Amino acid sequence: MKKCENCGMVYSDYSNFCTQCGQKLGQSDTVPQNPSGFTPETEAQTTPRQGYQGFNPVYSPGYQPSAHATGFSAPGKAAPNGEVMRKVRELGSSQLMLIFTIIWFAKVGLFVFARLFNPLSSSSSVFNLLNFLDIDGLNAVVFTYNEISSISTLINLIPTVLVGVGLVMTYLSAGDKTPSMSPSGLTIIKVIYIIEFIFKCIAIAFLLILSVAAIVGGNSEFIEDLIGYGYGDEIRIIGIILLVAVLIGGTCIVLFNVFVLGFLGSLTATIRSNVPQEKFASILSVLMFILGAFSALNLFGALQRLTFSPGSAFLSFVISASEVAVLILQGVLINKYKNIVRYGQ
């Protein structure tokens, strides 16, 4: 037996250090020589003693455990997806989202009312251009277009109504008690925007072909039979103006729709996978604010017409105000979503 001279603890002959104070124990003459092939050195290597700092590296100053030595990996910075998704649902069911949805349908109703009871001429700029170029032969075509445009505008409102339905579904799904949101509403909105984007690309391609044809074939027999002889230069001017407008406007339309579809895709993926994404959210929110600022210019135009056409001007003012409100609210909602995903705010 061995006894610690420092604290008085008694140990077997095989103990080398005191487990209380780490004091080295004296060697005993009664220690058997290699009992059963076991040595004190083997014991020291296989069973480290607690309390002796020089033997066990865990008790050494400045020791940093490694993943291989301790059997676990140091925890990284975990993304709080649950908290982010909770805030996303709160935004989807917020009063701001409800106000946005209501104004969306109000804009549709006001537009239908304006078309049915107080139709506005959507071709005034075209008439002004024709009068400037003195092409009377196309007046009948423009008048026919003006009649058809009212009907086509009402038909074009169907996708807008479906987008509103998708907004309602998203708002209701975000506010229910189910464990996760349903992406059905956003899927409807995304499909509508994809279909509209396809038709817009077809329209842009058609206008490009038409503008090139006007520039190249201004003096063709077909043009002469349609509007009369001697208008080749005017047709070329129209073709050049149309080509420039289509190239600039078409590029802006394509880029804007790519941003919208990219954001809707990331938002749908967020709801389906519970992994927050915010693709194109920053640039899209800025574009919404810019479009809202430009749309606000229509408010001043409507106010200028109050003196000679109060009813029409007031209706135009209300419609323009609803369009501005929709764009601004879209920018605010997208920006709030971006802040939630990026910063958890």
Residues with Cβ within 8 Å of residue 139, at least 6 apart in sequence: 127, 130
Burial 29-66 (b: 16+ CB within 10 A, else e): eeeeeeeeeeeeeeeeeeeeeeebeebeeeeeeeeeee
Residue 150 lies in a domain: yes
pTM (predicted TM-score): 0.65
Question: Are residue 285 and residue 179 in the same domain, yes or no?
Answer: yes
Question: Are residue 53 and residue 105 in the same domain, yes or no?
Answer: no
Question: Are residue 85 and residue 11 in the same domain, yes or no?
Answer: no
Residue with tokens 């479009």: 291
Residue 54's domain comprises: 1-62
Cα separation, 261 vs 280, whole angstroms: 9
Cα separation, 292 vs 302, whole angstroms: 16
Q: How many domains does the chain have?
A: 2
Residue count of the chain = 345
Residue 74 lies in a domain: no
- CB hemisphere CA count around 89 (13 angstroms): 21
Question: Are residue 126 and residue 229 in the same domain, yes or no?
Answer: yes
The pLDDT of 29-33, averaged and rounded, is 45
Instruction: Supply the pLDDT for residue 17.
Output: 72
Residue 142 lies in a domain: yes
Q: Quick one: tokens of 143?
A: 């008048």
Average pLDDT of the chain, as a whole number:
76
Question: How many other C-beta atoms can be found within 10 angstroms of the C-beta atom of residue 224?
Answer: 15
* Between 6 and 130, residue with greater pLDDT: 6
Burial 131-157 (b: 16+ CB within 10 A, else e): eeeebeebeeeeeeebeebeeeeeeeb
Cα separation, 266 vs 189, whole angstroms: 13
Cβ-contact 324, 106 below 8 angstroms = no
Domain boundary among 34, 62, 90: 62
Per-residue pLDDT of 34-45, as tens digits, reads 444 444 444 444
Torsion of CA 304, 307, 311, 314, to 10 degrees: 30
Question: How many other C-beta atoms can be found within 10 angstroms of the C-beta atom of residue 79?
Answer: 11
Question: Are residue 54 and residue 86 in the same domain, yes or no?
Answer: no
Instruction: Supply the pLDDT for residue 187.
Output: 94
Per-residue pLDDT of 155-167, as tens digits, reads 778 899 999 999 9
Residue 70 lies in a domain: no
Per-residue pLDDT of 215-238, as tens digits, reads 876 555 555 555 555 566 777 788
Angle subtended by helix axes 297-304 and 281-295, to nearest 10:
10
In this structure, what are the phi and psi dihedrals at residue 66, rounded to the nearest 5 degrees? -100, 160
Instruction: Supply the pLDDT for residue 148.
Output: 60
Q: Quick one: tokens of 130?
A: 């024709």
Q: Quick one: tokens of 259?
A: 């941003």
Q: Partners of 11 in the beta sheet?
A: 2
Instruction: Supply the pLDDT for residue 300.
Output: 80
Question: Are residue 7 and residue 131 in the same domain, yes or no?
Answer: no
* Burial class, 297, CB count within 10 angstroms (exposed 0-12 / middle 13-18 / buried 19+): exposed
Question: Are residue 158 and residue 299 in the same domain, yes or no?
Answer: yes
Give the model's confidence band at 128: pLDDT under 50 very low, under 70 low, under 90 confident, else very high.
Answer: low
Per-residue pLDDT of 239-295, as tens digits, reads 889 999 999 999 999 999 999 999 999 999 999 888 888 889 999 999 999 999 998
Cβ-contact 149, 123 below 8 angstroms = yes
Cβ-contact 226, 137 below 8 angstroms = yes
Question: Are residue 15 and residue 146 in the same domain, yes or no?
Answer: no
Question: Are residue 50 and residue 92 in the same domain, yes or no?
Answer: no
Output the CA angle 38-23-55, nearest 5 degrees.
60
Cα separation, 315 vs 88, whole angstroms: 36
Residue 76 lies in a domain: no
Question: Are residue 9 and residue 133 in the same domain, yes or no?
Answer: no
Question: Are residue 36 and residue 156 in the same domain, yes or no?
Answer: no
Output the CA angle 291-295-301, nearest 5 degrees.
160
Residue 73 lies in a domain: no
Cα separation, 40 vs 297, whole angstroms: 92
Nearest to 6 by CA among 20, 16, 82: 20
Q: Partners of 17 in the beta sheet?
A: 24
Question: Are residue 3 and residue 133 in the same domain, yes or no?
Answer: no
Residue 111 lies in a domain: yes
Instruction: Supply the pLDDT for residue 191.
Output: 95
Residue 17 lies in a domain: yes
* Between 140 and 105, residue with greater pLDDT: 105
Cα separation, 288 vs 329, whole angstroms: 9
